[in-house]
Structure 1
Amino acid sequence: MPVPAHGSWLADIAAARHGLDRSSTAGRIADLLREQITEGRLAPGERVREEELAEALKVSRNTVREAFRLLAKERLLVHEFNRGVFVGRVTADGLADLYRVRRILECEGVRCAPEAPPGAFDRVEAAVLDGERAAAAGSWPDVGTADIRFHKAIAALVGSDRVDEMIRHLLAEMRLVFHEMGSPREFHEPYLARNRRIHDLMARGDFAEAERELRSYLDDAEAQLTAAYREKAAKKPRRRRD
């Protein structure tokens, strides 16, 4: 999968610099970088240069370093000694843990759907429609972005700021996992119809069946991704022992 164009994500972040004075600067920079990762514009292993960010945002390098520290705690960035800061990679063990937590949060979202906050269910439908439109246009990376928004909207049915924050961090890591798949279309296309089915089941009030479908969906996705990880690991040349 091609690495996203470097200049595009940096330009997006630079365009947002005027809003930095309205919130904690380091936290807002972390939010901007996390958003670029979630949107698929920063790929695993890509270097994030401290000096470029500081210049683009007109902030100190110390402030950028603090943003980096925040994202390192979320496992989205890693610092490599004498090399710099890079977008992280999710390990096979990390993948299993991501799905473990996602089942807790997203299935609870479906159970809470009957009492969801106003407008929350509309965001589920909007994400489904975004994915279908992107697929029709042949824009499969955008299908991936819509899929992330769909699962974020499912968890948001709980109506909890803490859950929203947790799922936002988890799905940023999931977007890094998507990069491990060779073909965005091959991975995402089968799940479009399943997103629609989960939405439609909830829309007609069949929340128990919607939860069963979601659990099956997450099980299948985890199994598919785990198989891809194992295949990649098998293809890596083994280090010779002297």
Structure 2
Amino acid sequence: MNSGLSLADHITLELRADIIGGRLLPGMALVENELVFAYNASRNTIREALHRLGQDGLTRYVRNKGVMVRKLGQDDVRDLFKVRRTLELQAISVSPPLRDDQSGRMLEALEATELAREREDWRAVGTHSLAFHQHIVGLLRSPLFDEFFTNVVAQLRLAFCAAPDESRFQAPWLARDRQIHDFLAEGDKRAAADAMSAYLDDSEHLLLRMLAPTPHH
């Protein structure tokens, strides 16, 4: 346990990890009493953790219902992809050739994605794919950006949950992630940036289509 972190910090990080792992889904209630019991923490500590998740854009307070995991809309997705383009494309453009350990971490995430796909565990596919993109942002070597992007990833995870058919949504990306890695490993930054740019455009359009309000007949 990191001694610099309070219990509220730990609970915030665990709940965020549950969102990234697809265990907490949009619209789920975070019930104070249950969390007090689950984490053996005081009510104040739980409130502080929930407040932080709200500040990070992961929960919202709904009158008469309490704190719920956020559902994201199209504007949220556009904003998240603005951030992704800025950070991921910048990371590719400024990174020196991939070191073995950086490449290794990316390959591990791709491997985990592959295994999850074979198990048809589409939620895990989404989580591991996002881990690959966290390693891309990691090329910036900025703990501040890493922390910020982890919140972005958690919000993206909530957006993915809107997919009526997560298998169809998650299926096409693995090969493209692998291609981005291979370009980076070869030191072809321009090809990697082009591939990433097209990837982000396609991913954003697909998510926006899924989140489009359905016309009422």
Q: How much does 1:116 deviate?
A: 6.1
Corresponding residue to 1:131 among 86, 89, 113: 113
In the superposition, the TM-score normalised over structure 1's length comes to 0.85
Q: Is the 8 A contact 1:90 1:176 kept in 2?
A: yes
Paired with 1:134 and 1:94, the residues of 2 have a C-alpha distance of 27
* CA–CA distance in structure 2, aligned partners of residues 126 and 140 of structure 1: 17
Question: Residue 122 of structure 1: CA displacement?
Answer: 1.9
Aligned to 2:214: 234
3-state secondary structure, aligned to 1:181: coil
CA contact (8 A) 1:116 1:158 kept: no
* AA in 2 matched with 1:40: G
Say whether the 8 Å CA contact 2:98–2:185 is kept in structure 1.
Answer: no
Partners in 2 of 1:204 and 1:115 — Cα distance? Answer: 8
The reply to whether residue 76 of structure 1 matches residue 58 of structure 2 is yes
Q: State the percentage of identical aligned residues.
A: 35
From 22, 41, 47, give the equivalent of 2:29.
47
Please tell me whether the aligned partners of residues 117 and 159 of structure 1 are also in contact (alpha carbons under 8 angstroms). no
Among candidates 143, 154, 174, match of residue 125 of structure 2: 143
TM value normalised by structure 2: 0.94
| Contact 1:121/1:157 (8 A) holds in 2 | no
User: Per-residue deviation at 1:83?
Assistant: 1.5
Partner of 1:92: 74
CA distance in 1, matches of 2:23, 2:107: 24
| Conservation of the 8 A alpha-carbon contact between 1:47 and 1:84 | yes
Distance 1:120 1:160 in 2: 14
Q: Which runs of 5+ in 1 are unaligned?
A: 1-18, 238-242
User: Map of 1:165-184 to 2, 5 A cutoff?
Assistant: 165-184=147-166
Matched, 1:201 2:183: yes
Contact 1:50 1:64 (C-alpha < 8 Å) held by counterparts: yes
Query: Quick one: distance in 1 between partners of 2:59 and 2:100?
Result: 35
Q: Which amino acid aligns with 1:216?
A: A
Contact 1:72 1:78 in 2 (8 A): yes
Q: Is there any run of 5+ residues in structure 2 with no aligned partner, and where?
A: none
Report 1:96-115 matches (<5 A).
96-114=78-96
